């Protein structure tokens, strides 16, 4: 494999090859670029339209949907709130979080707060509830290929993610007055969840840290997904699949003065799932790093405290 360029993989490829190719890209980069993913394109287009319209509203309007003390898990989180673990400066972004819609009385509501929905723009709730379901579906498909690569049954992840605490994030990095490129819009970090499916990275700026310590761009073709491994899957696989550090840097030149919009779906385990190292990922050369299991919910809250979203 070319050590510096992420291959573009088609989700429509025969499944045996795909498990190998996705697995190789994840093992080497912790990232994969995925086209032909089958996300409903009209719905995605509508999602972008509403994302732009939401963030174009005045600060006071948006702040009505900020939940003080909510750990940024739902609704609106203002500019410069989140900070990467160990970073000196807050990220130059604002975002909106959509969680799973639960039926009344669902016991999962104990660890998954209810969604809040803005009164404008119109169709926000319908559109993002539908997009959430689309990401959930494609994410499960990608996980089934990962399962095969790990020597597990293709449906191994299904019960682990049924009712999972996944989050759809709508991100806006506003233009920075006077900035000519290079400002760090999102500090170097790893994602907390199992895998992340991201749309919008054709606007330059997303970079990942290679194993030998160089930043390289993640530049997907238009409409393709950038998929990356998060800390929960790294832990479950005893680091066989690495959760790779990434950041968003303001691009140089004329794009520096533009907004960046992106849409990551953080695919999470069920809150009560116990993350126990997969036996197939333990060997003499790679002894079990996590002999004590932890539930997905405990793990999440430990991490949210570290990134300034929870006290």
Could you tell which of ligand AKG, Fe ion, none binds residue 262, using a CB distance below 5 to 8 A set by kind? Answer: ligand AKG
From the list ligand AKG, Fe ion, none, partner contacted by residue 206 (C-beta under 5 to 8 A by kind): ligand AKG
94: contact with Fe ion by CB under 5 A: no
Q: Which of 191, 207, 231, 297 binds ligand AKG (CB under 6 A)?
A: 191
C-alpha angle 233-237-242 in degrees, rounded to nearest 5: 65
Residue number with the shortest CB distance to ligand AKG?
Answer: 262
Subset of residues 204 to 233 that bind ligand AKG, contact rule: CB under 6 A:
206
Residue 92 binds to ligand AKG (criterion: CB under 6 A)? no
> Is there binding between residue 207 and Fe ion (CB under 5 A)?
no
Q: Does 240 bind ligand AKG (CB under 6 A)?
A: no
Give Cβ neighbours of residue 53 (< 8 Å, ≥ 6 apart). Answer: 120, 121
Give burial (CB, 10 Å; 0-12/13-18/19+) of 14.
Answer: exposed
* Cross-strand pairs, 311: none
CB atoms within 10 A of CB 291: 9
Scanning 5-13, 28-36, 53-61, 198-206 for contacts with ligand AKG by CB under 6 A, the matching segment is 198-206
Residue 187 phi, psi (nearest 5): -65, 160
The candidate with the shortest Cα–Cα distance to 169, out of 110, 94, 228, 68, is 94
Q: If binding is defined by CB under 6 A, does position 194 make contact with ligand AKG?
A: no
Nearer to ligand AKG, 147 or 241 (CB): 241
Q: Which is nearer to Fe ion, 18 or 307 (CB)?
A: 307
Q: Per CB under 5 A, which of residues 46..75 are in contact with Fe ion?
A: none
Of 62, 172, 246, 268, which lies in the binding site for ligand AKG, with binding defined by CB under 6 A? 246
Any contact of residue 201 with ligand AKG (CB under 6 A)?
yes
Mask 241-270, x = binds Fe ion (CB under 5 A)? Answer: ------------------------------
Three-state SS at 21: helix
The C-alpha atoms of residue 162 and residue 288 are separated, in whole angstroms, by: 26
10 Å CB burial of residue 181 (0-12, 13-18, 19+) is middle
Q: Is 136 in the site for Fe ion (CB under 5 A)?
A: no
In the chain, which ranges are E strands?
A: 8-10, 31-35, 75-77, 94-98, 167-173, 184-189, 195-199, 206-209, 215-217, 225-229, 246-249, 260-267, 274-275, 294-295
- Applying CB under 6 A, the residues found at the interface with ligand AKG are 169, 171, 186, 191, 198, 201, 206, 246, 248, 262, 264
- Applying CB under 5 A, the residues found at the interface with Fe ion are 191
């Amino acid at each position: 494999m070319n050590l510096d360029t992420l291959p573009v993989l088609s989700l429509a490829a025969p499944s045996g090859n795909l498990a190998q190719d996705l697995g190789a890209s994840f093992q080497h980069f912790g990232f994969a670029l995925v086209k032909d993913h089958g996300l409903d394109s009209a719905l995605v287009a509508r999602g972008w339209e509403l994302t732009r319209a939401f963030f174009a509203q005045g600060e006071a309007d948006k702040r009505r949907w900020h939940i003080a003390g909510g750990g940024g898990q739902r609704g609106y989180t203002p500019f410069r709130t989140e900070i990467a673990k160990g970073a000196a400066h807050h990220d130059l972004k604002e975002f909106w979080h959509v969680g799973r819609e639960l039926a009344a009385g669902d016991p999962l509501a104990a660890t998954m707060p209810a969604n809040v929905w803005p009164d404008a723009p119109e169709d926000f709730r319908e559109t993002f509830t539908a997009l959430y379901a689309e990401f959930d579906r494609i994410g499960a498909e990608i996980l089934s290929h990962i399962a095969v690569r790990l020597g597990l049954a293709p449906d191994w992840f299904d019960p682990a993610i049924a009712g999972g605490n996944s989050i759809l994030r709508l991100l806006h990095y506003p233009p920075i007055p006077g900035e000519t490129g290079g400002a760090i819009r999102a500090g170097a970090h790893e994602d907390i969840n199992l895998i992340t499916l991201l749309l919008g990275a054709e606007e330059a700026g997303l970079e990942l840290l290679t194993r030998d310590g160089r930043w390289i761009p993640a530049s997907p073709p238009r409409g393709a997904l950038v998929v990356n491994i998060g800390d929960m899957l790294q832990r479950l696989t005893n680091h066989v699949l690495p959760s790779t550090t990434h950041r968003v840097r303001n691009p140089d030149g004329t794009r520096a003065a533009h907004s960046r919009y992106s849409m990551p779906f953080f695919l999470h385990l069920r809150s009560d799932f116990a993350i126990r190292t997969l036996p197939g990922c333990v060997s003499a050369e790679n002894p079990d790093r996590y002999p004590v299991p932890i539930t997905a919910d405990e793990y999440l809250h430990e991490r949210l405290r570290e990134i300034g979203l929870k006290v």
